[in-house]
A and B are shown apart, each in its own frame.
Chain A
Amino acid sequence: MRRSLNEASLEAHSWLGLALGAAMYLICLSGALAVFNQEFERWEQPAVLESEEIDPRLAERALENFVARHGMEGEHWFIVFPTSGIPRLVVENDEVAHFVNADGSLGAIEASPWTAMLIDLHYYLHMPSGIGMIVVSACGAMLLALILSGVFAHRRIIKDAFRFRRGGNGTQGTIDLHNRLSVWGLPFHVMISVTGAYYGLAGILVFVAAHTFFEGDLEAVTAPVFTPEPTGLARGTQGLPAIARAVEYVLREDPQGKLVFLTVHEPGTEDEFVEIFVQQPGRLIYAESYRFDRAGEFIERGGYLDGPGGKQLVYSLYRLHFGDFAGVGTKLLYGFLGLGLAIVSATGISIWLAKRKREDVLNAVWPAFVWGVPLALTLAAIATLFGVSQLEWAFWGSLLALVAWGTRLPSALVARRMRVLLAGSLVLLVVLHGGQHAAAVFEAAAWPVYVALLLCALLVFPHRFSSRRSLELAA
């Protein structure tokens, strides 16, 4: 029997959705939260001194103090400027990062383990970074296949464009939610999938292209996009780089730009040079880079601002993917749309489960997983307050325990119980964190996150109607 395009597409959509739904949900939910990584990073250490002012001499002093304490080790030194999105001056090498006090002395060590765990979940699903990034990027590419099959599977895409039928036994509402979020979010979803596929897959493309066209020379492939590093610039010179001079140059020559960070490449070697990355207003490119020798003498620009179109496009993918341009408004937009994509991933499998003629353990496992992920993230955040350092284990351990617990509940009750627990954990997190950082509760780094967490607790707490219905269904 010949199937219609809709039926065939729905079959493809279901297969891909079932194969990737769980991974896609983890990636999308962690991605929606990772949009606010800078806000979470500040919140984890809310008492640190904040200022948006850039003082080149202060930065230079901070680097001197850093080298005096940690020596010349490492292949890079970094200075992260307070205009990077987090209003704090940080000096670091590849191993350790210090906040800088107002007098240039080294302050507390930067530590935001929960944010780092969240970002690792989004980038690598907590797998080893090489393989994890390929898996996550592959999910990005397959999201495009899901979008394609989803569009062709949708018979009433125009007819149902605004339809949302809640109530009934809940299935129609879930289907409508899935379809409305998918269809109206289409441009965002396509952008996220293409830009997301780039990170892990570009390396493979470069490898294949290098071995095919450039005798294995990887830099020959990447050079047109990522300006190669200069060599031998520090030959015959000594001492620490004159970074104050370099920063002053950038502030003078690019007054509209926002300094993100400064890198000292290969410190102490003859290949040492200084590079300052400067965000450009109105542009999606990650930054324009300015390069200096050890004496703080300007050498060249990276050419990302006005280079070839392809170079600009590739260099724009990061900020376009993470919504890290134009402030909190854009972050909120990305956060909501990312959350929408996570809901689409979750409801896709819920619809498939609801349409089955039988019920088995999967009917409890899936809602337990869906609500267990944010709950496990919250529990991991609580764990940091008690000094737990292996947060990946805390996250996966609690998720496993929650899913196992969910399988012992009637499937109609799983979501409700998990939501109550999640709301309670969010409130507990606010209370414990506030207690631990009592002096900084009303700092700009802390209270917006507390408010957001409490709002989330309010939203996820099951209200009276849904509780009663769940109980009726369970009965």
Chain B
Amino acid sequence: MRSLLVGPLGLFAAWALSGLSMALVYRAWSIGSRPLGGLAWSCVALALLLWVAVAGKEYGLSYGLFYPALIVWLFIAHASTALPFKPELERAAEGMRWNFTRFTSHGAHALVVFVLFFIASALVTVVLSFSLPVAPATRIATAIILLPLLWSLLAYCYLATRRKLWTFLVSLTLTGVCLISLLLR
């Protein structure tokens, strides 16, 4: 069985199943059928497994997860519609507006998001990942994945809320706790 899967035949089968599963997802979407949608997504998962069987765990996962992003354009092109030509709305042409208060406020947000939250997430990441009871190499790998995740989460929470000061203070407290735990070591 394994020898059948490896090689051009296996790759073709994985390609075909990926294409078929995306066609099913498209069909389910266009007729609005949930059961067919469930079946279609099961096929997508099956295609992913087939990719893994054909190309190995590492290459197979990459292919199975990334190829649908290309294949799907066949169906997007099929579903595309043309809107009637509509000239753009007349908009007032103006010079650049310059508002010092807004500039300062955006600058402050940028400082918080790009500098302070980076420091905060780096400290929290080091404390968390190097306290894990796992192999040293795993700690480093965890830290590498955790840092962008934490930083992006903090940035998102801060930017999406109107209670920015509160979010800022919570992250500052968290950082302080991590810093103290580092200093007490």
Contact = CB atoms under 8 A, between A and B. Distances in A.
B161 interface: yes
A208 B156 contact: no
Nearest to B82: A167
A158 B91 CA distance: 33
Given A149-B159, A162-B29, A309 B59 contact: no
A362 interface: yes
Contacts of B99: none
Contact of B30 (A162, A173, A472): A162
Contacts of B138: 308-310
A358 B141 contact: no
B123 to A, nearest CB: 7
A317 B62 CA distance: 12
A12 B134 CA distance: 36
B147 A180 contact: no
B4 interface: no
A309 B93 CA distance: 58
Contacts, number: 232
A145 B155 contact: yes
Interface string B72-97: 10011101111111111101111111
Given A141-B148, A145-B155, A309-B141, A358 B82 contact: no
A168 B83 contact: yes
Interface in B81-127: 81-89, 91-97, 106, 109-110, 113-114, 118, 122-123, 125-126
Given A168-B84, A221-B140, A320 B62 contact: yes
B86 A168 contact: yes
Interface residues of A, number: 90
Contacts of B123: 208
Contact of B96 (A138, A360, A473): A360
Contact of A164 (B63, B79, B145): B79
B140 A145 contact: no
A255 interface: no
Contacts of A314: 137, 140-141, 144
Given A168-B85, A184-B72, A333-B66, A282 B55 contact: yes
Contacts of B176: none
Nearest to B32: A159
Contacts of A337: 66, 69-70
B109 A469 contact: no
A8 B137 contact: no
A36 B114 CA distance: 31
B56 interface: yes
B159 A362 contact: no
A325 interface: yes
B86 A169 contact: yes
A165 B29 contact: no
Interface stretch (A39-47, A187-195, A240-248): A187-195
Contacts of B145: 194
A166 to B, nearest CB: 6
Given A184-B69, A309-B137, A337-B66, A282 B148 contact: no
Closest 7 CB pairs of A and B: A310-B137, A12-B159, A168-B83, A145-B152, A310-B141, A310-B138, A224-B136
Interface of A: 3, 5, 8-9, 11-12, 15-16, 19, 138, 140-142, 144-145, 147-149, 152, 158, 161-173, 180, 184-188, 191, 193-194, 197-198, 201-202, 204-206, 208-209, 212-213, 221-225, 282-284, 307-311, 313-314, 316-317, 320, 325-326, 330, 333, 336-337, 340, 354, 356-362, 412, 469, 472-473
Given A12-B160, A194-B149, 10 more contacts: A8-B162, A144-B148, A162-B26, A186-B69, A205-B126, A224-B137, A282-B58, A283-B58, A310-B138, A359-B91
18 contacts: A12-B159, A141-B151, A141-B152, A145-B159, A158-B29, A162-B26, A163-B76, A167-B84, A169-B88, A188-B65, A205-B125, A206-B140, A282-B56, A284-B62, A309-B135, A313-B141, A314-B140, A326-B55
